[in-house]
Structure 1
Amino acid sequence: MRKLIGVTSSVHTTRSGVEGIFVGDDYTAAIVEAGGLPMVLPMVTDEEALLALADQLDGLLLTGGVDLDPAFFDEEPIPQLGEVSPVRDEMEWKLTEEFLKRDKPIFAICRGVQVLNAVAGGTLYQDLAAQRRKIVQHTQRAPRWHASHQVSILPGSKLKKILQVDVLRVNSFHHQAIRDAAPGFLVSATAHDGVIEAVESTSHRYVLGVQWHPENMWRRNPIFYKLFQVFVDHC
C-alpha cells in the first residue's frame, strides 16, 4: 500500500480573484515516482483538523515558498523581508511540531527547511545580502533545473549516506537561510560561502531538509531523486 505523504501548499489567487492553493507538479510527481501517495494539504489551522492530519499522514513534505514571519523566531522584520503568508505559517508550524512529537518522517525543501529549523528552535537570516557578507549568488538567474553552485556534504551524515558524494552542485532560489541550526540538528551541507544548505535531526528517525530544490532537478539528474526515494521508504 502506498504511504500517504502530506505536501504543503502555497496560497494562490487567480486573475479572477479566486483564492486557493498551489503546489508545483515536480513535488507530487517525485513522491508518486518514489512509491508514495501525495496529498496536497489545504490551508487549515483548526487544531482538531491538524491533529487528525498528523495522525493519518505517514510523512510530511515541507515545500518552498514565501518568507517565514520573523515573529516565529523572535525577531522584528527588516526592510528586506519579503512576502509572508500568516495562515501558511501557522498551519506549517503546528503540523511540523506535531510530526516532530510523533517522530514521523519529514523532508523539508527551501522555505521548508527554514520552517523546520525555526520550529525546532533554530534561527534564520531574514535576508542573506543584508545580513551576511561575501556570499555566492543564492538566487540564480537560470532555469530551475540548472545547478548553479556547489555544496560540501558532511562525512558521516544521513545526507552523505543517501547521496554518496562529498561535493554536489545544486540549484538555488532563496534569500533567507538558516543562521543557527536548531538544538539536536546537524549541519550536513554548506555552500562555499559557509551558508547552511542542509540540516538533519540527530534525535528523530528521519527528519532532513535541504535549502536547494531537488524537485526541479531529479528528472535530469537521478542523484536528486534519491532524496525522495529514501524519504518515502522511511515513511
Structure 2
Amino acid sequence: MKPLIGITSDLDQNGETLVQSNYSRAILRAGGLPVVLPAGLEDIDEICGRLDGLLLTGGEDVNPLVYGEEPHQEVGKLSPERDEMELALAKCMTEKDKPVLGICRGHQVLNVSFGGTLHQHIYSELSAELVQHKQQADREFATHSIDIIDDSKLAGFAGTSEIQVNSLHHQAVNEVEAPLVVTAVAKDGVIEALESTEHRFVMSVQWHPEALMNRDDPTSLNLFKHFIEASSQA
C-alpha cells in the first residue's frame, strides 16, 4: 500500500487553498499517495495519526512572533493560521517519529518547530556578500551551488559534496537547536539543509527539489525516494 503523505498548502487572496502541483507530482513519482491539507485545519492529532509522512511546502513568510521576535520591515505576507497548523503538525509527526520533509518555507517551519529562529530578511541582516537567493530563472533550473556536509543523509542522496540548486527566498534559518544539525550551506554561508540526528527521517532543504525533479535532477529524485521509503515504514 502506498504511504499517505500530507502536503501543506497556502491560501490565495480569497482564502482558497493554493498549492503547486509539483509537490503532488513529486510524491506520486516517488511512490507515495499525496493528500493536500488546507491551511488552518484542526484535529491535528487525528490527522497526524492517519498520515504516514508530512511534506511542509514553500510559501509566504513565517510570522516572527512564533519564534519570539518582532517583525522586520521587509517581512512579507503572513498566514498565522498556516503557521499554527504546520508547527503543530510538525511537532506531532516528529514526536511520533514519522517522516517529515520541509521545503523552502517548510525548511524554516521545521527549524522553528524545534525552537530555532530565522533571519527575517537576509539582505539586511547578513553582512556577507550574498549570492542571489531569489532567482530570476524559472524554478526548474538550478542557479547557485551549495556545499554538503560529509556523512549526512543528504550527502548520501547526492553522492557528492557539492550540488547546484534553485533558490526562491529572502528569509533563512538562523539559530538551530538539537536534534537538528546543518547539513548544507550556500557559498555565502546561508543554511541550505537540516536533518535530525534522533529521527528516522526528518529533513529540510531551502531550495525546491520538487521543481528540479521536472528535469530529472538525481539528488532531488533520491531525496523524495528515500522520504517515501521511510514513510512506507511508518
TM-score normalised by L of structure 2: 0.96
221-230 vs 164-173, greater mean Cα deviation: 221-230
Where 1:156 maps in the other structure, the secondary structure is coil
Determine if contact 2:6/2:35 at 8 Å carries over to the other structure: yes
Report the identity percentage: 44
Determine if contact 2:108/2:173 at 8 Å carries over to the other structure: yes
Task: Note if 1:33 corresponds to 2:29.
Answer: yes
Task: Note if 1:70 corresponds to 2:64.
Answer: yes
Give the CA deviation at 1:178.
Answer: 0.4
| Cα distance in structure 2, aligned partners of 1:193 and 1:78 | 22
AA aligned to 1:167 is E
RMSD between aligned residues: 1.0
Task: Note if 1:2 corresponds to 2:6.
Answer: no
Task: Note if 1:184 corresponds to 2:179.
Answer: yes
- Partner in structure 1 of residue 73 of structure 2: 79
Where 2:213 maps in the other structure, the secondary structure is coil
Give the CA deviation at 1:165.
Answer: 1.3
| Cα distance in structure 2, aligned partners of 1:164 and 1:99 | 28
**Out of 51, 54, 71, which is 1:57 matched to?**
51
Determine if contact 1:198/1:209 at 8 Å carries over to the other structure: yes
AA aligned to 2:10 is S
Give the CA deviation at 1:96.
Answer: 0.7
1:101-180 paired onto structure 2 within 5 Å = 101-133=95-127, 134-180=129-175
**Out of 66, 86, 90, which is 2:84 matched to?**
90
| Cα distance in structure 1, aligned partners of 2:61 and 2:74 | 11
Where 1:19 maps in the other structure, the secondary structure is coil
Structure 2, unaligned runs of 5 or more: none
TM-score normalised by L of structure 1: 0.95
Determine if contact 2:193/2:204 at 8 Å carries over to the other structure: yes
Give the 4+ runs in structure 1 shifted more than 4 A: none
Q: Deviation string for 1:177-207 (max 9, x for gaps)?
A: 0012222111000000000000000011110
Give the CA deviation at 1:222.
Answer: 3.1
Give the CA deviation at 1:135.
Answer: 1.1
Figure out how many residues of one structure are paired with residues of the other and give that number.
229
AA aligned to 2:25 is A
Task: Note if 1:22 corresponds to 2:18.
Answer: yes
Give the CA deviation at 1:19.
Answer: 2.7
Determine if contact 1:146/1:171 at 8 Å carries over to the other structure: yes
Where 2:34 maps in the other structure, the secondary structure is strand
- Partner in structure 2 of residue 42 of structure 1: 38
- Partner in structure 2 of residue 229 of structure 1: 225
AA aligned to 1:6 is G
| Cα distance in structure 2, aligned partners of 1:84 and 1:32 | 29
Give the CA deviation at 1:221.
Answer: 2.9
Determine if contact 1:45/1:90 at 8 Å carries over to the other structure: no
Determine if contact 1:170/1:212 at 8 Å carries over to the other structure: yes
